[in-house]
Amino acid sequence: MAKSQSNPRFHARGRSRGVGGAEEGFALSGRIWVEKEGETFLGWGRVVLLERIREHGSINAAARSMGMGYRHAWDLVDMMNRLSPKPLVRKVTGGRRGGGSTLTAEGTAALENFWALVDDFRAFLRGRDARIWRKRRKPRAKA
């Protein structure tokens, strides 16, 4: 899954239209996340954790694959499940390795919806001029 490998800080270059030299190299960057009543519910790190849980079938293995402490991973999963109307991760019992964890339908939807938001956000960043010091022709209305 290529997306989970990439850097949590992402940006889209604010390429100038026909302007080069000293004005190149500027980029608008940003981050987005979802809050529930002021608490972080879902951001980049948690979404990657969900992806890894889906991939590895286990919270501990998912944490290990990210270099994250498993206690921290369990706390994050617990928090996501608590804040969500329906849990995003559930335990599975039995199977070859005697149980583990998997995503619920809501967890899978959360992944897909988050990446769709990120795609939209990238388009937003890309569509705007990062040359912030430039005077605009059209002045902003005072009212």
Which parts of this chain interact with a second copy (CB under 8 A)? 11, 14, 22-23, 25-37, 41-42, 84-86, 88, 105-107, 109-110, 112-114, 116-117, 120-121, 124-125, 128-130, 132-136, 140
- Please answer whether residues 8 and 44 qualify as being in contact, where contact means their C-beta atoms are separated by less than 8 angstroms: yes
Torsion, Cα of 53, 71, 44, 39 (10° steps): 120
Kindly state the smallest distance separating residue 1's Cβ from a second copy, in Å: 14
Nearest to 30 by CA among 110, 127, 96, 99: 127
Give the other-Cβ count within 10 Å of 52's Cβ. Answer: 22
Taking the least distance from each CB to a second copy, the nearer of 60 and 104 is: 104
Provide, rounded to whole angstroms, the least separation between the CB of residue 71 and a second copy: 24
Cβ proximity to a second copy: between 10 and 74 the closer is 10
Structure tokens at 42: 């879902």
Q: Which is nearer to a second copy, 3 or 64 (CB)?
A: 3
Taking the least distance from each CB to a second copy, the nearer of 71 and 140 is: 140
Q: Which residues contact 64 (CB under 8 A, 6 or more apart)?
A: 70
Q: Work out how close the CB of 124 gets to a second copy at its nearest, in angstroms, rounded to a whole number.
A: 5
> Structure tokens of 21?
């030299």
Q: Nearer Cβ to a second copy, position 60 or 81?
A: 81
- Select from 63, 45, 140, 139 the least CA-distant residue to 100: 63
- In the bound complex, what is the minimum distance in angstroms from residue 64's beta carbon to a second copy? 26
Task: Tell me how long the chain is.
Answer: 143
Considering the complex, what minimum distance in angstroms separates the CB of residue 131 from a second copy?
A: 8
